[in-house]
Amino acid sequence: DIDRQWWKEAVVYQIYPRSFNDTDGDGVGDIPGIVERLDYLEELGVDVVWLNPVYESPNADNGYDIADYQSIMDEFGTMADWEELLDGLHDRGIKLIMDLVVNHTSDEHEWFVKSRAGEEDYRDYYFWRQGRTDVDGWTGHQGPEGEAPPNDWGSFFGGPAWAYDEEVGEWYMHLFDVKQPDLNWENEEVREEVFDMMEWWLEKGIDGFRMDVINLISKPPSVTDNDPPTPDGFDATFDGPKIHEYVGEMGDRVLSEDLLSVGEMVGDVSMDDAQQYVGRDGDGLSMLFHFDHVLLDRGGDIWEYHGYDLTDLKDIFRHWQKGLEGEGWNSNYLNNHDQPRMVSRYGDDREYRVESAKLLGTLLHTLHGTPYVYQGEELGMTNYPFESLDDFEDVDTLNPVRNAIEEGVVDSFESVRDSVAMLSRDNARTPMQWTDEEHAGFTDGEPWLDVNPNHEEINVEAAREDENSVFHYYRDLIDLRGDYDVLVYGSYDDLWPSHTDLWAYTRTLDDERLLVVLNFTSEEQQFRLPREDETHSTADYTDELPLHAGEIDALDTELLIANYDDVG
C-alpha cells in the first residue's frame, strides 16, 4: 500500500548551465557542454536533471529575467542543442525538469515592451500604478520630484520594489531587479499564456518543472485593486490571498501526478500552506522548497551571518519531516545556485572537508524526501576565497552591499567582508571543477566567474581515481536509495533532538528500520541506542554504550545500516 511515484524514488541533480561546461571558449557554459558530460551524470547515477533557466535573456539575473520563454539563450546554444540534450538524457533513463519563472519576466519580454508602449491588451499584464504624493520628506532614488513609489516595499535585490517609467509616467512593480517586472496573475490572459507555454514544453517531452518563487504570484488587494489607504506590508505577497487558486488552477490545467513539480516557496511558508500546495487534496504540486534551514544562520541582509546550532537545524528538519508525513512529500537540499556551498556552511571545508561532505551527503540521502544534489556538491566543492567587492558578479550581492555602503548602513566592504563572502550566491556559481588544469577544464577561454583555486585538489578527475572520494560515496548513496524502500518511504524519527553534537534518527517502514547516526564534531562520540520505549523521548541518555560494530553492516564509518533489533 505504498503510494509509489518515480519522483519520490529519484535523486535530482541541479545544473547551472552558465558554470557547468563551456565548449565554445566564450567563458560561459553551454548546452553542448552538458551533452558532453552526459556519461558523467550516468556514472554518478542521478535520475533527474533540473536545468536552471536557459531561455533567451539579457542576463540581468543570469537567466531569471526571461525575454522569451520559448527560445534558447544564444550563449547557451540552440533549440536543436536542447533537443539533443533531452534525447541524450532520456536515452540514459534520466528525466529533465525545466525552470519555470513566471512571477516576473524580463523588461525586454515582448509583453512588457507592449505594455510599456501602452498597448491596450497588454497594459494589465503588469502592475502600473501612480506614485504617492502624500509621503512627507520622500527623497527617493528616482521618479518625479516629491513622488514616492506606490507602496513602501523593498525589492529582494535592494532599493524600492517599484521603478518609475518616464514615458508611461507611472511606476511598475519589480520584487526582484528593475529588469524583472512582476506579472499580474489577476489577469486571466496572463494565466492562459503561462499555462499554454507550460503545455508547449510538456509536449516537447520534459518531465516537470521547478517553479521559481511561485508563492509570490498573488499580490494583496492594495496592489491588485490599487486600493489604498492602508498599504499591506511586504509579507502580504508571500502565499498571498489567491495563491492556492492560481497554483490550483495550474495543477488542474497543466500538471499531473506523473510529473515532477517542485515549487520554490520563499519566506517562511506555514505548514498549513505547505499542505495545501503539496497535500492530498491540495493544489497539485509534488513537493516544495522551503527556506527555513537556509535562513537559520543569517539575518535578512547578506552582512548578517551568525552561524547555527545543530539542535535548531534538527528542529527545522523534524518540523518538515513530521509536518508532511502521510500528507505530502518533502524535497531536501543543502545548497543550490543561490546558497553557499554546504561544506563551507554546515561543515568544515578545511581539515574535515571530505568527512563533512560525506556526512552532509548521508543526511541528504537518508532523510524522508527527494534529495537535490547541486553540481559540484558530489566533489565536496567549497566556497570561494572572495577578497574584494570586485570579485563578485551577482546582483543580489552587489546591489544590496553598494546601497548599504552608500546609505551608511554599513561602514565599508571590509567591515562586512566575512559575512558577504560566506553568504554570496557567487560561491555556488564558480565553474564546475573537472580537472586540475587551468580554469579547471571548464573553458578554453576566460571564465565569466573565477574558478576556485582549490580545483588543483578538488576536481572530477582526481575524485574518480580516489576510491574514498566524496564522488564515489555519492554514487553509493544514490544506489542505496534504489535498494531500500525504507530509505525512500520510511517515516522519520529523531532519536535525540537535544543532542548538540550528534544527529541520530531512524527511518521505519513496517518491520524494516534504518538507523542513521551523524557526528557533527571532529571528536569521537559515544552513542547508545535508546530502548524501544525511549525512542521518541528527548531525555538525555547518560549511560552511554557504543553500538556493537560487529553487528552492523556498515557502508562506511558515517553510514550505518543496522537491523535495529539486532543492535538494540
Residues lying near ligand TEU in the complex (CB under 6 A): 61, 64, 101, 156, 176, 212-213, 266, 337-338, 396
Catalytic residue among 75, 99, 182, 212: 212
- The three three-digit cell numbers of residue 44, written as one number: 554518478
Q: Which is nearer to ligand TEU, 207 or 396 (CB)?
A: 396
**Shortest distance, CB of residue 390 to ligand TEU, whole angstroms?**
20
Distance of CA 565 to the CA centre of its chain: 38
Per-residue DSSP letter, 476: H
Residue 426: how many CB atoms within 10 A of its CB? 24
Contacts of 241 (CB under 8 A, 6+ apart): 218, 220, 221
Cell 527623497 found at: 139
The residues facing 332 across adjacent strands are 371
Q: Which is nearer to ligand TEU, 106 or 362 (CB)?
A: 106
**Shortest distance, CB of residue 338 to ligand TEU, whole angstroms?**
4
**Shortest distance, CB of residue 505 to ligand TEU, whole angstroms?**
27
From the number of C-beta atoms within 10 Å of its C-beta (0-12, 13-18, 19+), residue 280 rates as exposed
**Shortest distance, CB of residue 93 to ligand TEU, whole angstroms?**
27
Q: Which is nearer to ligand TEU, 22 or 338 (CB)?
A: 338
Let me know: does 54 contact 72? Beta carbons within 8 Å. yes
Distance CA 369, CA 447 (A): 35
**Shortest distance, CB of residue 401 to ligand TEU, whole angstroms?**
12
CA angle at residue 483 from 479 to 489, to 5 degrees? 110
**Shortest distance, CB of residue 440 to ligand TEU, whole angstroms?**
23
Tell me how far CA of residue 268 lies from CA of 56, 210, 237, 274, 295, in angstroms. Answer: 31, 19, 12, 10, 9
Residue 222: how many CB atoms within 10 A of its CB? 17
Q: Which is nearer to ligand TEU, 179 or 358 (CB)?
A: 179
Tell me how far CA of residue 38 lies from CA of 21, 33, 471, 495, in angstroms. Answer: 11, 9, 16, 40
Q: Which is nearer to ligand TEU, 375 or 454 (CB)?
A: 375
Give residue 169's region: left, alpha or beta (phi > 0; psi -120 to 50): left
Q: Which is nearer to ligand TEU, 94 or 401 (CB)?
A: 401
Q: Which is nearer to ligand TEU, 81 or 212 (CB)?
A: 212
**Shortest distance, CB of residue 103 to ligand TEU, whole angstroms?**
7
**Shortest distance, CB of residue 425 to ligand TEU, whole angstroms?**
6
Q: Which is nearer to ligand TEU, 101 or 504 (CB)?
A: 101
DSSP letter string, 112-176 = HHHHHTT-HHHHTTB-EEPPBS--TT---SSSSTTPBPSS-PBPTTSSBSEEEETTTTEEEE-SS
Cell 497554483 found at: 247
Contacts of 223 (CB under 8 A, 6+ apart): 127, 129, 150, 151, 173, 232, 237
Q: Which is nearer to ligand TEU, 64 or 277 (CB)?
A: 64
Q: Which is nearer to ligand TEU, 303 or 527 (CB)?
A: 303
Distance CA 492, CA 318 (A): 8
**Shortest distance, CB of residue 212 to ligand TEU, whole angstroms?**
5
411 carries an active-site annotation:
no
- The three three-digit cell numbers of residue 395, written as one number: 546582483
Pairing of strands 491-494, 48-51: unpaired
264 carries an active-site annotation:
yes
Q: Cis before residue 447, ω within 30 degrees of 0? A: no
Catalytic residue among 75, 182, 249, 264: 264
Distance CA 336, CA 19 (A): 13
**Shortest distance, CB of residue 176 to ligand TEU, whole angstroms?**
5
* Residue at shortest CB range from ligand TEU: 64
The residues facing 547 across adjacent strands are none
The residues annotated with a catalytic role in the active site are: 212, 264
